[in-house]
Structure 1
Amino acid sequence: MSDPVRPEESEAREPARAARPRLWLTVLSLTAFAVLIALGIWQIERRAWKLALIDRVEQRVHAPAQPAPSPAAWPAISTANDEYRHVTVAGRFLHDHETLVQAVTEEGPGYWVLTPLKRDDGTLVLVNRGFVPSERRDASTRQGDNPDGRVEITGLLRITEPKGGFLRNNVPQHNRWYSRDVAAIAAARGLDKVAPFFVDADAGSQTTGGPIGGLTVIRFPNNHLIYALTWFALAFMLAGKLLVTFGGGLFRGKKPWNGFVHEPAGDAARRTGSDAGTIVEQA
């Protein structure tokens, strides 16, 4: 018959079992830790990219205005290289082909007035002349404010906005527009030789009583540092939990010695039970 396991021996084995977590839990925890660290690093990289973007846009907006790209340069137009460039464009407005796009601005709800501008070479550039409130939606209320002759517009080059606005698609057949989709507007108005961008006119280009220009909102949310700190904090919290869980057997100390030892019982021993050992006080 094998010797019975003493209670103190059983207690000594429990920390050892606690210090050996299951393999799948170890792998899952380390994987989660690595993913959290990777997400934090990715947000740091995104922050650097966003700061560079903001700096680049600021330089474009405040640079001297240059002529809008010619047809030869249209295929190379891109958001990264051209968005918010300060440009000028000259020609005559085709007011009978204007398009109203729903907008919400600091002036309230209303519409952007997009009007094709025909340049000397016959090409067209859509110009966002600015904002009008809902009560001035009808073009007949603005005819006296529409310039007839040749004009020169200064503003910011904007990239086309396809597929409609947030959760709302353009409906060209019903003349409902929620984004400034250049290609769709050109098709709906029967226009050709249209530039693949539009120009947001600045405040100096507006006419008395006409659409309010210069309302372009340039805002780039930059919360990447907060996101990075959040991911790193979660990673270190997980690391602390792993250290406590997996290292339990290493940091859980032995029971403190109380000055007494438990010896096997002998014939002359003083017993307190049927098979109790002798209590011997140590010097």
Structure 2
Amino acid sequence: MTARSTALPAPSPLRRLLVPGLVSLVGVAILIGLGVWQLERMAWKRALIATLTERLAADPVPLPPPAAWPGLSREANEFRRVRVSGTFRHDKEALVYAIGSGSRTAPTGLGYRVFTPLVLAGGETVLVDRGFVPDADKAPETRAAGQVMGPVEIVALLRWPEARPTFAPADDPGRNIWFARDPAAIAAVKGLTIPAFYLDLETPAPPGGLPRPVLLRPNLPDNHLQYAITWFSLALALAAIFFVWAFGRRKADSQ
């Protein structure tokens, strides 16, 4: 018997383009999707900037009465300036890990935001983000002048909890440290009954300067259009590279 070798037929030129073509198509689709996502982010960011600009420029109004609190929402009420009176419970303050933000008049360095319950005249409690303290001053005794006693009147922004950062460590109630502005989590440990919102203090700054109110400003970075153009340009470049390569390959196969 003699062994026979069977040569497989060479794939057609079109079949040789199939896999590279599919890979390029998927890549172009992903890049276009990223560009569209950036345009959606741009629309969201510009709407947020417009809302901030309008609401931060408005005069403060009295904090709605407790009966109206369940009807307040992030969409309709966040960043509105309110005026309210009460007494701080410094014995139940909480520290929320913080770094600077481009939207705020932020101090440099790492530290904490001081969340302190404010007890209103009717006995209701609202958490107030009183501002920033550096790590060296996180202990209340190092900033005793700022632990204002007795009734106070403040101007603050209505705020809602932030999404917990993806890689944030677990909160450490034993050390009185949290890693997200989550009033419900703080209230559960401190034994407080609070509304869904909290207050972000504007004025007055406390004696001694700490905690330092960190004022929100509508100067959010808006680079989404540049990012979208980059993604669309990469999609166009990838498509062009594939077509130039495919044209050259077909030309070589035809010779």
**Shorter-chain TM-score: which interval?**
0.7 to 0.9
Task: Name 2:93's counterpart in structure 1.
Answer: 98
Task: Name 1:153's counterpart in structure 2.
Answer: 154
- Matched ranges for 1:78-227 at <5 A: 78-105=73-100, 106-161=107-162, 163=164, 167-192=168-193, 194-202=194-202, 204-218=203-217, 220-227=220-227
Amino acid in the other structure paired with 1:231: W
> Mind listing any 5+ residue stretches in structure 1 that lack a counterpart?
1-16, 256-283
User: What SS does the aligned partner of 1:209 have?
Assistant: helix
CA distance in 1, matches of 2:177, 2:223: 34
* Identical-pair percentage: 42
Q: 1:62 aligns with which of 35, 52, 57?
A: 57
CA distance in 2, matches of 1:211, 1:195: 26
User: Does the Cα contact within 8 Å between 2:85 and 2:153 map onto a contact in 1?
Assistant: yes
Q: TM-score w.r.t. structure 1 length?
A: 0.69
CA distance in 1, matches of 2:112, 2:243: 59
CA distance in 2, matches of 1:45, 1:129: 33
Q: 1:33 aligns with which of 28, 31, 34?
A: 28
The Cα offsets for residues 230-266 of structure 1, whole Å up to 9 and x where unpaired, read as: 22112211222233233448889x99xxxxxxxxxxx
Residues 232 and 101 of structure 1, relative CA distance in 2, 3 Å threshold: closer
User: Does the Cα contact within 8 Å between 1:163 and 1:170 map onto a contact in 2?
Assistant: no
Q: How many residue pairs end up in the alignment?
A: 236
Task: Name 1:235's counterpart in structure 2.
Answer: 235
CA distance in 1, matches of 2:131, 2:169: 21
The Cα offsets for residues 196-246 of structure 1, whole Å up to 9 and x where unpaired, read as: 2221211x3123215243314556443322221122112211222233233
User: Does the Cα contact within 8 Å between 2:146 and 2:211 map onto a contact in 1?
Assistant: no
User: Does the Cα contact within 8 Å between 2:145 and 2:207 map onto a contact in 1?
Assistant: no
User: Does the Cα contact within 8 Å between 1:200 and 1:213 map onto a contact in 2?
Assistant: no
User: What SS does the aligned partner of 2:197 have?
Assistant: strand
Residues 23 and 128 of structure 1, relative CA distance in 2, 3 Å threshold: closer
User: Does the Cα contact within 8 Å between 1:164 and 1:181 map onto a contact in 2?
Assistant: no
**Deviation of 1:124 (Å):** 0.6
User: Does the Cα contact within 8 Å between 2:129 and 2:199 map onto a contact in 1?
Assistant: yes
CA distance in 2, matches of 1:142, 1:26: 65
CA distance in 1, matches of 2:24, 2:165: 43
**Structure exhibiting the larger radius of gyration computed from Cα positions:** 1
CA distance in 1, matches of 2:174, 2:192: 16
Residues 224 and 104 of structure 1, relative CA distance in 2, 3 Å threshold: closer
Higher relative contact order (CA 8 A, sep 6+): 2
Residues 160 and 251 of structure 1, relative CA distance in 2, 3 Å threshold: same
**Deviation of 1:144 (Å):** 4.5
Q: 1:47 aligns with which of 35, 42, 51?
A: 42
